[in-house]
Chains A and B, each alone.
Chain A
Amino acid sequence: MPSLSLRFDSSDRPLIHVEGKPGIPLQPSFQMHPPNVVPRFAEDFLVDTGATGCWVEEDLIASWHLMKNIPMLTRSGLKPIVGGYAYPLSLRFQEPRQQDSWYHPSWPVGTVPAGHFGGIARGLIGMDLLRNGVLHYDGPNGTCHLSWP
């Protein structure tokens, strides 16, 4: 299985380098309209088995003006409410000087305010995505490996 060896922040939380773009279904629209470039970011994200979903600081994608097609609905009394929006992003996990990368062509990612992660990271990878792989965290030896089929 391909795998990546992850880094850690100062609190021993695993970090992964993520290249994000609009999801594959959205990319032709960017290619067809000036400046005819698919926007991207490349930032460190936290890997968090305690979060159910994936999140990104909103300033990273605000200028992309993605449509709000995926409201995050939550149960509240009799009527569900919209707690935020997720956006379909293509995500590639890749670590410096490592060969493998894990690519997701279109994954729902919610937004949090800019600076939410205090500069340590710019987003978070949660269980909805991690459950498709194998995460091996070895605290005593200070290693964390992410593998996928």
Chain B
Amino acid sequence: MESDRHQVTLAVDPNLQENIDAFCTQLDALISTHLGMYVIFANARLVKVCDSLESAMSVGYAQFGTESFLVQRVEPLRSHIDFQATCQV
């Protein structure tokens, strides 16, 4: 939310946090090679690069089921969650 001037830090599952950390470590390299694609991370490792969210989620659920895995679009991190405060009624 363009709103998010009061950004909240959420508690994150430790397994998911490991995957987030691994994703962030590799993000610059991924941007140079797979910008706009979707990546799956599990057990702190890059598992697969997919061309759509649907494909990434299908692969993720097929391989990991209800175990923790991360799906992210390869793009530069935003400085805030972008949302129009004016949309609030």
Contacting A at CB under 8 A, from B33-89, are: 52-54, 57-58, 60-61, 66, 68-73, 77-84, 86-89
Question: Closest CB of chain B to A134's CB: distance in Å?
Answer: 21
Complex contacts, A117 vs chain B, CB 8 Å: 87-89
Complex contacts, B70 vs chain A, CB 8 Å: 69-71
In the complex, what distance in Å separates the CA atom of A70 from the CA atom of B79?
17
Chain A residue with Cβ nearest B24: A80
In the complex, what distance in Å separates the CA atom of A120 from the CA atom of B87?
10
Q: Is B30 an interface residue (CB 8 A)?
A: no
Q: Is A107 an interface residue (CB 8 A)?
A: yes
In the complex, what distance in Å separates the CA atom of A12 from the CA atom of B83?
19
Selected from A48, A50, A80, the residue in CB contact (under 8 A) with B20 is A80
Question: Closest CB of chain B to A145's CB: distance in Å?
Answer: 21
A-B contact count (CB 8 A): 110
Size class of A's contact patch?
35 or more
In the complex, what distance in Å separates the CA atom of A81 from the CA atom of B11?
10
Chain A residue with Cβ nearest B82: A52
Size class of B's contact patch?
35 or more
B83-A53 in contact (CB<8A)? yes
Question: Closest CB of chain B to A88's CB: distance in Å?
Answer: 5
Question: Closest CB of chain A to B38's CB: distance in Å?
Answer: 10
In the complex, what distance in Å separates the CA atom of A106 from the CA atom of B38?
13
A50-B84, A67-B66, A110-B81 given; A25·B89 CB < 8 A: no
Q: Is B32 an interface residue (CB 8 A)?
A: no
Selected from B68, B77, B87, the residue in CB contact (under 8 A) with A46 is B87
Chain A residue with Cβ nearest B76: A75
Residues of B at the A interface (CB closer than 8 Å) are 1, 4, 7-10, 12-13, 16, 20, 24, 52-54, 57-58, 60-61, 66, 68-73, 77-84, 86-89
Residues of A at the B interface (CB closer than 8 Å) are 23-26, 29, 46, 48, 50-53, 55, 67-76, 80-84, 88, 105-108, 110, 112, 116-120, 124, 126
Q: Could you list 14 further interchain pairs (A-B, Cβ under 8 angstroms) beyond the known A23-B53, A107-B53? A: A24-B58, A25-B57, A51-B84, A51-B87, A69-B57, A69-B68, A69-B71, A71-B12, A73-B20, A73-B72, A75-B78, A81-B7, A82-B9, A83-B9
